Structure 1
Amino acid sequence: MRGFARWTALLAAAGLLMTGCSGGSSGDDTSGGRTGRAQPSARSSAAASPLPSSLTSQRLDWGRCRATADFSAPGADWQCATLKVPLDWSKPHGKTIGLALIRAKARGENRIGSLLFNFGGPGSSGVSTMPAYAAVVPLLRERYDLVSWDPRGVGASEGVRCLGDREIQAAEKVDITPDTSAEEQAYLRNATAFGKGCKKDAGELLAHVSTTDTARDMDLMRQVLGDRKTHYFGISYGTQLGGVYAHLFPRNVGRLVLDAVVDPSADTVGHAENQARGFQRALNAYLKSTGQDPGQGSRKIADLLKRLDANPLPTSSRRQLTQALAFIGIVRPLYSKESWPTLTSALDAAVQGDGSELLALADDYNGRDPSGHYGTGTHAQRVISCLDNKQRLTAQKAKKLLPQFERISPVFGPFLGWDTAGWCHDWPVAGLYETPEVSAPGAAPILVVGNTGDPATPYEGTRKMADELGEDVGVMLTWRGQGHGAYGRGSACVDSAVNAYLLSGSVPRNGKVCS
């Protein structure tokens, strides 16, 4: 897939569990307050720790990217380079790691500078996504160098692989909504094995892949690229990264766009509830579009998932459609309204006893290719989110939460309720905070874009982000649409407002709504 379609798929492959990171067998921290904000002294320490000139004065050796269909397309002229950053930002003179960067230089005159992109996850590769996404932003390339990168722990930037392909495929048979003590223990053992695999592969890097680490990388990137201010476009998890960057370096904020906004005020349980609510809303909209009653349609899908829990469906391959794979297959098309007909076909086939289409959707989401090789986006997603999040809910606490999750969504609630305990269960390193600090007093206006029908990052997070960025900083732009994100999804109103802000610095009226 190319252009927007490819971008949608790549975002989807890193979206669902973006904020579902919690869990653990030791401790049961469930406080929902604001006491765990990220490193209160982070901004002052950033200013107080000068970097060695070996980092700030490094010259990027831009060269040809490895040959792929996207990089070698006529007129693509993509360049790649490696940026050195400290492994441990508290020891800037110590060991370094390399971050893979990609750019396409501005085509027109009156160049503004570099425009950095993060496509979400956490765990999405900017190096592989940027060339495809460039088709969505041709106007921006007239005045910006389009720049993205693989954040630390992702892809070509010391990318982490926690399990092998056979182990991942075997784990797809684990019951994600345990009904018995034996299933619960298997669920938690699988989580422990994943964390141990991450520790074995990543080593000391596992404690240095946080959002705060990547925000600091961004500011060094700004300096090395020769930009006075950071201009940035963050999507999905990329909005959290943008908010943390603005908090750490408010005076370096240029023009920042945050699209498909993660709620910075939500803790582990709050994020899981948000996503259950968001995906249920999207499912309701889908069911209405097919002439079905949302309540009845949801119950039918929930019943299908319950049947699969005990009796997986056969497929055209040798694999079976398990409950876990069916769940992911249902989630995948909800990221884009254009994919709803695919969901109809897959559900119809499953009701008739064939799980092949839902399995194909799940494989697409999980980055599994026809040869059985899995991508590592979800591995990076987990190591970053589990380091960011200090909460570790027990299975006992998750079970107590299940009724409220099921009230929010009979389809998505059971999985996301259990996920609060399973995602970071028995994780090898401690998490950093309960919720990220994004307040950015003194920063230039930041454009915060929300879609009322967003399944993965529900619209309520847009207002929370704008409020927490601070008065005269967070500027809200709303689109009444469907799908994950707003820019580049067909709204001329949204696109023109974002383009005007990035290209001419024209800040839209706070609260502007696009229908």
Structure 2
Amino acid sequence: MSRFPRWTALAVASALLAAGCGGDSSDDKSGGLSWGRCEATSDAPAPGSDWQCATLKVPLDWSEPNGETIGLGLIRAKARGDHRAGSLLFNFGGPGASGVSMMPSYAPTVSKLRERYDLVSWDPRGVGASEGVRCRDDKEIQAAESVDTTPDTPAEEKAYFEDATAFGKGCQKDAGKLMAHVSTADSARDMDRIREALGDDRMHYFGISYGTELGGTYAHLFPKKVGRMTLDAVVDPGADTVGHARNQARGFQRALNGYLKSTGQDPAEGTRRITDLLRRIDTRPLPTATPGRKLTQSLAVTGIILPLYSKDSWPTLTSALDTAERGDGSELLALADRYNERDASGQYGTTTHAQRVISCLDGRQRPTAAETKKLLPEFEKISPVFGRYLGWDTAGWCHGWPVPGQHDNPQVSAPGAAPVLVVGNTGDPATPYEGARKMADELGKGVGVMLTWRGEGHGAYGSGSDCVDSTVDAYLLDGSVPKDGKVCS
């Protein structure tokens, strides 16, 4: 689908290493897991010899712990130092991001942490090596690019909702019984089983983007098992489906305004120029260098979204917008393809498939078309560029979904848990800063410890702030809890 996710993985713009989980070539058995080499896939070679993979069996349905099981793919690199503190489990967001794929590429960012921790990640249920869900084939995904995700006519609206219903049916056909058991709460329970299998008394955890919601859910369910937990690029735990969309409209417009100011443009005038461009593209999609493909309005918005995740990518956005103004959609299409995980051969990744299956099981709110239309003026006022897109998404994302949602928002209160370090970035587009404060408050007094970075981009750790990095490192490596409310400029 061409919709951009409500919460996204930190490394959405990066090329991902793919690794399969090997079992027959086990060279290490510990904690009930048989660790062996990580197998190559059709997309990429296996990671280096430092990395080991394993499969852990967990219940399909946690209400029937002795019933049918599924396999979770795990990956790890052992600690390098002599004073090992245990395992540090990572989730990179989405929901739907593959930890097995992303952990090796993220390892250099957290190299200091490897001195004391085994770096461990996994594919959450419904993702990649853990019974990964695929709702459409590549041809169907590309065909759906023609669907207008901001419908202006009854015909476009009909096509929009028919496409959403068809997507859900495709997910159900592929996932089967798993469709009702991929919630965030299910994955939090999986995490505790992973902790047990790794032989750790406490859960040491680093959650990014959606991984912060997963971490908060774990803390709520298992407060006494929380060890050193860091939550970075924090999802607002108090927001429902409409609230998340409203937050992202505000966050992406805020990031766009920052970008426009950096180029010497007045944000209001720059926004008008972009909305005019998108309006023209909606009427007449732009030609591209890729035979048979044009830049639609939906793809153009996705292409604008991607560079806003990192300040380092802002020059790329300038070039793509200038090229589009000249009538060539090639650069914005290339950015949209990177976001949608489409490679040069026309094959697509499935992160968005897993994300939708998980988030539609989590979220109970299902706005109707009529309710969404009433919201559109508010959303367009918040963000003339992204508001309409995100507003319609509240109705289309889970339209006709075959499985009911579980709650309006997650429970993250964790009385009695050890301190949890909550890191918020004032310029974060996908998970706006306000959500971090709410997470710290919801975790509870003495549990949520707030660290603020006055920066740009999605996520703070490893983004160029020595203050943030040293504070997080001191907490995870030595247990030094910073003063609540510390600010890094």
Question: Normalised by the size of structure 1, how large is the TM-score?
Answer: 0.89
Q: Identity of counterpart residues, as a percentage?
A: 75
Structure 1 equivalent of residue 450 of structure 2: 476
User: Secondary structure of 1:447's match?
Assistant: strand
CA–CA distance in 1 between the matches of 2:242 and 2:37?
45
- Which of 363, 369, 386 lines up with 1:412 in the alignment? 386
Structure 2 equivalent of residue 232 of structure 1: 205
Q: What do residues 325-363 of structure 1 show as CA deviations (whole Å, max 9, x unaligned)?
A: 101000000000000000000000000000000000000
Structure 1 equivalent of residue 161 of structure 2: 188
Structure 2 equivalent of residue 457 of structure 1: 431
CA–CA distance in 1 between the matches of 2:45 and 2:312?
23
CA–CA distance in 2 between the matches of 1:277 and 1:290?
20
CA–CA distance in 2 between the matches of 1:12 and 1:104?
21
| Counterpart check, 1:356 vs 2:330 | yes
- Which of 245, 251, 263 lines up with 1:290 in the alignment? 263
CA–CA distance in 2 between the matches of 1:395 and 1:70?
45
8 Å CA contact retained: 2:10, 2:459 = no
Q: CA 1:143/1:58 → structure 2, altered by over 3 Å: closer, same or farther? A: closer
For residues 31-430 of structure 1, the aligned pairs below 5 Å read 59-67=32-40, 71-73=46-48, 76-318=49-291, 319-430=293-404
CA–CA distance in 1 between the matches of 2:56 and 2:91?
16
Cα RMSD after superposing both structures:
1.4
Structure 1 equivalent of residue 486 of structure 2: 512
Structure 1 equivalent of residue 23 of structure 2: none
Q: What do residues 164-222 of structure 1 show as CA deviations (whole Å, max 9, x unaligned)?
A: 11111011110111111111010000000000000000000000000000000000110
Per-residue deviation at 1:507? 0.1
User: Secondary structure of 1:61's match?
Assistant: strand
| Counterpart check, 1:10 vs 2:45 | no
Q: What do residues 116-154 of structure 1 show as CA deviations (whole Å, max 9, x unaligned)?
A: 000000000000000000010111001000000000000
User: Secondary structure of 2:66's match?
Assistant: coil
Structure 2 equivalent of residue 436 of structure 1: 410
| Counterpart check, 1:493 vs 2:467 | yes
Per-residue deviation at 1:72? 3.9
Q: CA 1:13/1:296 → structure 2, altered by over 3 Å: closer, same or farther? A: farther
8 Å CA contact retained: 2:31, 2:196 = no
User: Secondary structure of 2:73's match?
Assistant: strand
Identify unmatched segments of 5+ residues in structure 1.
1-6, 15-56
Letter in 2 for 1:445: P
User: Secondary structure of 1:134's match?
Assistant: helix
User: Secondary structure of 1:233's match?
Assistant: strand
Structure 1 equivalent of residue 4 of structure 2: none
8 Å CA contact retained: 1:243, 1:439 = yes
Q: What do residues 278-332 of structure 1 show as CA deviations (whole Å, max 9, x unaligned)?
A: 0000000000000000001011111111111110000001210001110100000
CA–CA distance in 1 between the matches of 2:238 and 2:156?
33
Letter in 1 for 2:214: L
Per-residue deviation at 1:67? 3.2
CA–CA distance in 2 between the matches of 1:328 and 1:394?
24
8 Å CA contact retained: 1:9, 1:365 = no
User: Secondary structure of 1:363's match?
Assistant: helix
Higher strand residue share: 2
User: Secondary structure of 2:33's match?
Assistant: coil
8 Å CA contact retained: 1:391, 1:434 = yes
Q: What do residues 460-508 of structure 1 show as CA deviations (whole Å, max 9, x unaligned)?
A: 0011000000000000000000000000001000000000000000000
CA–CA distance in 1 between the matches of 2:194 and 2:477?
21
CA–CA distance in 2 between the matches of 1:172 and 1:457?
26
CA–CA distance in 2 between the matches of 1:353 and 1:229?
56
Q: What do residues 229-258 of structure 1 show as CA deviations (whole Å, max 9, x unaligned)?
A: 000000000000000000000000000000
Letter in 1 for 2:139: R
Q: Which moved more, 1:62-71 or 1:153-162?
A: 62-71
Structure 2 equivalent of residue 52 of structure 1: none
8 Å CA contact retained: 2:366, 2:399 = yes
Equivalenced residues, count: 465
Question: Normalised by the size of structure 2, how large is the TM-score?
Answer: 0.93
